[in-house]
Amino acid sequence: MKPLKPEQAHPIGHYRPLALLGEGAMGQVFLCLGQDGRVAAVKQIHPSFSRDEGFRTRFTHEVQASRRVSGAYTAAVMDADPEAEAPWLASVYVAGPSLRDAIDAAGPLPVSSMRRLIAGLAVALSDVHRAGLIHRDLKPGNVLLTSDGPRVIDFGIARAAEGAEFTSTGTVVGSPAYMSPEQAEGHDLTAASDMFSLGALLVMAATGQGPFTGTTAAQTLYNVVHEPPTVDGVPAEIRPMIEACLARDPAARPTPQQLLDMVGPLDREGPMWPQAVQQLIQAQEAEVRTVLALPPPEPPAPPAKRRWPAVTGILAALAGVITLSLVQGLAPTEGIAIEPETRESPSEALTVDRLRTIDACQLLDGVELGDLTLEASPYSLSAHQCRFGESGSYGSAVTLALGATVDPSRMVSTGEQVAGLDVLTSQHDIGGCTNAVALPSDQQYGIELSVMSDDEHGLCEHLNRAMDIVIDELRVDPPVRDVPENSATRTDVCSLVDREAIAEIAGVVQTVSPDGLDQCSWRSVRGHGLAQVTLAPENTHGEDRDTEQIRLGDVPAQQRGMAGTCTVEWQHRTFEEQADDSLGPLVEIVRVTYSPNGDGNACRPARAVAEATLAEFPPAER
């Protein structure tokens, strides 16, 4: 990152340059501030390209395709102007060294980091290819390492540059050490070419040296086409998947999804990157914060006004605070990336423990979906769910469930992603729909949005946008419900199922399975039951005339038997918030239901199970 020269401070479209990130054969990349306050990396193309109308046509096509690429591991294109005097492309900025810089500073990556790198790049290429693009220039300089994973940048730009008037006839744009054999020979490319480049890139990340690097560019290209890759030093745990990518026959290379399957489940324990790489990321994040705190550089005024000395003073101040970047600077022309630094990664933000603390009713309240403004219903009485409708009504409405149990066998993929997470959907038999994403930390749980049969506002068409809003809030500034540690709403209900106690009451427990964050079902030899936590207005709790007042030790409770099933429930504690002015504050209710297999008294074992469950709860106000 370097201070701007006066002539570089002119606005680029709607973006105001703050500093120079780097420059290369195709142009310069600037750290910019958009009109909406977002920080962007803007690549301004070299004037030599702008004189070629063929380049502008290709650039327009590639920009349009690039805007279709979205995901956790790619650089989202924000804006572009192919018709500008100097064409430009803007992407949201995030701090992170290039893979090349990271390896130079910290050495080859350990296996744990390599597996995360492979998985992230496989997902990124899947997103690029789904948009109909081939990257064509996947190299260590076009991969950034950030605090929550790798980022692939500059997809589509190499294609736009091919055939420009100032390049030689037959010239192939790309990096020799990371080209596929078919690219080096100038053949038509498929997505498999990117997989070969990925394999070469991964060898460099694991060993510090590319598999085909020669003493000259010509020798390197010869090695790519004719010589077997050098993979000595690649750890045995990851060598098979890298060698598969480096297959000579494009048809023999894995697809991104097949490579992801080869990686398998990732261990989320431990740091994502080595400490030296983390320090690079942190230093660059601090550097950007410093630049943003400075007065933005002013472009030169008309010569008659002679304001250059003032501009020079600002530039001198800027140079003084970012000298660290001369050694540990951001990637040069590769410095396009995504996401503001305040956004947590999905794996950190979307955990079961985190979702237990969130106030679901704040996440979509006031959001406009289609022609409907959502309002949270005061009768949303689950701690982890909320119903949103017009004026809080029960007409056309969306129900949000945090930590819902996700069953992929009953849903199909939409082919779309939110924050890098696949969106699943199902259509209801009586109308309506459900969309869900599984939590990256625990795939059996997820975030679910449902529209009931009355969908007069066409809300099903807007569920992906609603999901994006929900996940973004959870990653940036989640609305936390102010509840104490001993709140029943923060409890893992399945952990309260005492198998030994239930076995004495209803026979050996065969299965225990969660149903969302607030209830857990179990099945035993002689019956089955359900334990759940819910909320209720205090004025309505216990008013059912069919309810019998009982005690579980010193805790007052209610018991209700009906049709071979018995339910026992008790109040755990009182919330300060209110469901509605007329209903009073909410209370936490713990409910245990038992149904024997066949005839028999259900309430006696239900009470025994309730007592065993109560004993497992943290103590609360009585």
Which residues is 150 bridged to in the sheet?
A: 145
Which member of 81, 101, 127, 137 is catalytic?
A: 137
* Residue 409 burial by Cβ neighbours in a 10 Å radius (0-12, 13-18, 19+): exposed
Start-to-end CA span in the chain (Å): 61
CA dihedral of 332, 203, 234, 181, whole degrees rounded to 10: -170
Dist CA 297 CA 313 (whole Å) = 10
Question: Which amino acid, residue 361?
Answer: C
Dist CA 102 CA 95 (whole Å) = 13
Q: Where are the extended beta strands (E) located within 372-491?
A: 372-376, 385-390, 397-405, 412-418, 421-427, 433-439, 442-451
Note whether 109 and 206 are within 8 A (CB). Answer: yes
Count the Cβ atoms, other than its own, within 10 Å of residue 11: 11
Contacts of 540 (CB under 8 A, 6+ apart): 583
**Residue pointed to by tokens 């809030």:** 473
Q: What b/e sequence results for 182-193 when a residue is b if at least 16 CB atoms lie within 10 Å of its CB, and e otherwise? A: bbbeeeebebbb
Closest CA to 1 of 278, 294, 201: 294
Dist CA 96 CA 513 (whole Å) = 41
* Residue 451 burial by Cβ neighbours in a 10 Å radius (0-12, 13-18, 19+): buried
Q: Is 81 a catalytic residue?
A: no
Tokens of 574: 């009182």
Please, what is the Cα angle at 200 between 190 and 226, to 5 degrees? 80
**What is the side-by-side order of every strand in the sheet holding 372-376?**
368-369, 372-376, 385-390, 397-405, 442-451, 433-439, 421-427, 412-418
**Residue pointed to by tokens 């209610």:** 558
Note whether 128 and 152 are within 8 A (CB). Answer: yes
Dist CA 379 CA 571 (whole Å) = 18
Contacts of 568 (CB under 8 A, 6+ apart): 550, 552, 557, 558, 559, 591, 592, 593, 603, 606, 607, 609, 610
Dist CA 306 CA 303 (whole Å) = 5
Closest CA to 191 of 134, 229, 146: 134
Dist CA 86 CA 152 (whole Å) = 24
Whole-angstrom CA distances from 113 to 206, 278, 575 are 9, 12, 44
Note whether 369 and 398 are within 8 A (CB). Answer: yes
CA dihedral of 483, 489, 495, 499, whole degrees rounded to 10: 130
Whole-angstrom CA distances from 493 to 400, 498, 528, 531, 568 are 20, 11, 16, 7, 16
**Catalytic center residues:** 137
